[in-house]
Amino acid sequence: MTVKKLIQKDGQIELTDEVIATVVGGAATEIFGVVGMASKNALKDNFQALLGKENYSKGVVIKAAEDGSIAVDVYTVLSYGVKISEVSKNIQERVRFSLENQLGITAQTVNVYIQNIKVVGE
């Protein structure tokens, strides 16, 4: 578990991977075309269930870089019929924006992994 430390004039703030993953998962699921988050081990475990808000950390991997930035891997389930490249780009932009504005953290990379495509509404 990585702990990201932010030094402020009044003291120090420590953020765990779970906090960062919750912000990332919340940002990703706001995007049109994203059905939900999937476990990063979904293919290995042969388990394709969607993760609830309380389990976003299972669908997000945070890697700390030496320069203080982070790399983020986001495992998602998309809706059938959406343009995957466009939805993925929107996820990357929204995750970067949310991390910088909510937590003051810069994401060096945001990698999006599509774990499944789901037909919605049938």
Query: Distance between CA atoms of 42 and 59, rounded to whole angstroms?
Result: 9
- Give the mean model confidence (pLDDT) for residues 69-93: 94
Query: Distance between CA atoms of 81 and 20, rounded to whole angstroms?
Result: 30
Contact 70, 108 (CB under 8 A): yes
Residue 19 has pLDDT above 80, yes or no: yes
Residue 24: per-residue pLDDT? 94
Residue 8: per-residue pLDDT? 72
Contact 66, 13 (CB under 8 A): no
**% of the chain at pLDDT higher than 90:** 47
Contact 63, 107 (CB under 8 A): no
Residue 75: per-residue pLDDT? 93
Banded model confidence at residue 99, pLDDT cuts 50, 70, 90: very high
In sequence order, what are the residues at sequence separation of 6 or more whose Cβ sits closer than 8 angstroms to the Cβ of residue 13?
Answer: 5, 6
